[in-house]
Amino acid sequence: MTAFNDSIPSRPALQAVPSITTGSVTVVISGIQRLQSGDAIDVVDVMGRTLITVPLPYTRATVQTQLVDISGLPAGYYQLRLAGTSAAAGVIRR
């Protein structure tokens, strides 16, 4: 018999901490089966342009953290997206 949690595929989720920053933000990635070579976090502006891509290392961990430096971007709202998924988190650069 399969456990209840094993029968429901997990959906990736992102959380950005802090959500307002002048420099770097820690991205918490959860609900993943495993990250593969080529997976990345994209930093996207309000016009939908990808400004920064941060490659993620391969891991079997179900929760991973990644530091993303947005200090070189102008003040504004940005979305952090796990490439190839619908997982996203917003961050404000002051």
CA-nearest of 81, 64, 70 to 25 is: 70
pLDDT tens figures, 17-64: 999 999 999 999 998 877 777 899 999 999 999 999 999 988 888 889
Residue 19: domain span: 4-93
Which 3 state secondary structure label does DSSP give 39? Answer: coil
Tokens linked to 64: 């991973």
The pLDDT of residue 73 is 98
Q: Which CATH number does the domain housing residue 25 bear?
A: 2.60.40.1930
The arithmetic mean of pLDDT across residues 66-94, rounded, is: 96
Task: Compute the distance between CA of residue 39 and CA of residue 32 in angstroms, rounded to an integer.
Answer: 11
Domain count, the chain: 1
- pTM, to two decimals: 0.86
Non-local (6+) Cβ contacts of 74 within 8 A are 93
Cis amide linkage into residue 74, ω under 30° from 0: no
